[in-house]
Amino acid sequence: MSRHRLASVLAAALLLAPLAAGSQTAPTPPAYRPGLGDLMTLTVQPRHFKIGLAGAQQNWAYAAYEVHELEEAFERIERQVPKWREFDIPALIASTVKQPLDALEAAAKAKSPTQFDDAYRQLTAACNACHQSANLAMIVIRTPQSDSPFANQDFRPQKP
* Residue 138 main-chain phi, psi, to 5 deg: -75, -15
Q: Which fold has domain 36-133?
A: Four Helix Bundle (Hemerythrin (Met), subunit A) (1.20.120)
pLDDT above 90 coverage of the chain, percent: 68
Q: For 87-103, what is the mean pLDDT?
A: 96
Q: pLDDT (tens digit, 9 = 90+) per residue, 106-132?
A: 999 999 999 999 999 999 999 999 999
> Where is average pLDDT lowest: 11-20, 38-47, 71-80, 117-126?
11-20
CA distances, 27 to each of 31, 57, 108 (Å): 12, 51, 50
Cβ neighbours for 135, distance < 8 A, ≥ 6 positions apart: none
pTM: 0.76
Enumerate the domain spans of the chain. Answer: 36-133
pLDDT value of residue 107: 98
Mean pLDDT of the chain, nearest integer: 87
Give the Cα separation of 33 and 80 in Å (integer): 8
Phi-psi region of 133 (alpha: psi -120 to 50; beta: other; left: phi over 0): alpha
Per the model's pLDDT, the better-predicted residue between 154 and 85 turns out to be: 85
